[in-house]
């Protein structure tokens, strides 16, 4: 039962002078219960806010890379990024252009996951 609705009903039905002590005690109990609920909700809210803050802080930044010719590219940037690292961790890892004779396994090397890539 909603304690405020009960109080309103009692006041309307009997007038404030006729409200019985049992009703007042019931309302006090209900308010105590509500205060306890508010306290628990505040605690839960605080815990969840902290969890959300940590989650946001841990989230890797998004770089909006485009996948093209087997590699990832950023608009206006002519050097490619590693598609494996970007798909796995959302980190933009710039590939290293391989010069002869190191280009035997691919034109580019990812310095993080050590995968070789060819353009196209």
Closest CA to 85 of 53, 55, 117: 117
By CB under 5 A, residue 82 contacts Zn ion: yes
**Residue 85 lies near Zn ion (rule: CB under 5 A):** yes
110 binds Zn ion per the rule CB under 5 A: yes
HSE-CB for 113 with a 13 A CA cutoff = 18
Does the footprint of Zn ion cover residue 79 (CB under 5 A)? no
Minimum CB separation of residue 31 from Zn ion in Å reads: 60
CB of 86 to Zn ion, least distance (A): 8
Tell me the torsion sign for CA atoms 70, 75, 79, 81: negative
């Amino acid at each position: 039962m909603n304690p405020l609705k009960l109080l309103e009903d009692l006041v309307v039905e009997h007038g404030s002078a006729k409200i019985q002590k049992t009703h007042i005690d019931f309302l006090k109990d209900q308010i105590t219960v509500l205060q306890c609920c508010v306290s628990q909700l505040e605690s839960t809210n605080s815990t969840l806010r902290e969890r959300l803050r940590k989650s946001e802080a841990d989230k890797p930044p998004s770089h909006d890379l485009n996948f093209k010719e087997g590699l990832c590219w950023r608009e206006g940037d002519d050097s490619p990024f590693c598609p494996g690292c970007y798909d796995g961790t959302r980190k933009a890892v710039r590939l290293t252009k391989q010069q002869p004779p190191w280009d035997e396994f691919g034109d580019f090397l990812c310095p993080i996951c050590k995968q070789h890539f060819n353009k196209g």
